[in-house]
Amino acid sequence: SLGWHETHEAAWGMANHRHVGKCQLALPYVESAACSSLSEEELLARERRVPFFFSGAATGFDTAEDCPNVARHALDVRRAILTAGTQLDGATTRGVLHNMRACNGSALDPSENACEQALKQLTGAEMAGARFCAIAAGDTPSTGRLYDSIACLCVPVILVDDLQLPFPRTRPLPPSSYGVRYPEADFLADPLGAARRILEGAAGPPGARNWRGLQRLLLPARRALAYRHAHSDVATLVLREAWAGCLQERRSTARPVSQVAKC
């Protein structure tokens, strides 16, 4: 059987996120519809006045907050992002309820789905107007926010040590196609200083440390990982990954569920 998309080492949180199959496939999330409908030319031409963007919850997760992995990797980092954002000129950082719970029983619209779509549309529009987008863990290390920011060509600042990039066996894209990775411990030690170093170009691949250069490095990932694109490569990449990591496996690489700690 095929396992869940999380690795058993990184999949802290709810039981249904553990790796229990013969093998696993690490896949991208479906990207933001708000940005996938825009052309590369439109996104690259945007002036992007907002230097740093984040919208997310810092409490109320589905996994209990006393779970050490969630507390250390998700809540602490998210709170640091929100705090640093208040001190960065022009930044947009906003705390919201987890899993769009603001739409539960929404008075704004009788349809909860319409409320959620409106929030997603707003977030996509804000990402499309920002230079850098902070990526933090939630109940698990993987997050759709990474793929939304790539679709919007907002350079991801990945603040998740355990986040696994898609297709880890075949590696069709270089790490630079996913933005900038910054160690959690370094960010937590000085959130404001770390954010400023990223914005000033002191972090990132050599030769592409200005945000425009980093933005252009996202283009291969945007083209290859876009489910909504007419010429999407996702299906081909999935089959290649399945062949390399699953169909040629003769024994299970998963640990027993009893050996995988919930937190």
- Residue-wise pLDDT tens digits, 2-32: 444 444 444 444 444 444 455 677 889 999 8
Q: What string of H, E and C letters represents the secondary structure of 226-239? A: CCCCCCCCHHHHHH
Is the pTM here over 0.75, yes or no?
Answer: yes
Q: 């919930």: which residue's tokens?
A: 262
Q: Cα–Cα distance between 68 and 22 in angstroms, integer? A: 28
Query: What is the dihedral sign for C-alpha 218, 224, 229, 230?
Result: positive
Alpha carbon 167 to its chain centroid, in Å, reads: 15
| Regions of the chain with pLDDT less than 70 | 1-23, 64-65, 99-102, 104-112, 202-209, 249-263
Residues in the chain: 263
pLDDT at 217: 94
Among residues 215, 204, 191, which one has the least CA distance to residue 136? 191
DSSP 251-263: S--PPPGGGS---
pLDDT at 194: 94
- CA torsion, ordered 80, 81, 85, 87, to nearest 10 deg: 30
CB 4 within 8 A of CB 260: no
CA angle, residues 207, 208, 211, in degrees to nearest 5: 155
- In terms of phi and psi (left: phi > 0; alpha: psi -120 to 50; beta: otherwise), the region of 164 is beta
Q: Where are the beta strands (DSSP E) in the chain?
A: 2-3, 23-24, 50-56, 92-95, 130-135, 155-158, 180-181
Q: Cα–Cα distance between 226 and 39 in angstroms, integer? A: 12
Say if strands 50-56 and 23-24 run parallel, antiparallel, or are unpaired: unpaired
Q: Cα–Cα distance between 179 and 169 in angstroms, integer? A: 20
Structure letter (DSSP) for residue 206: T
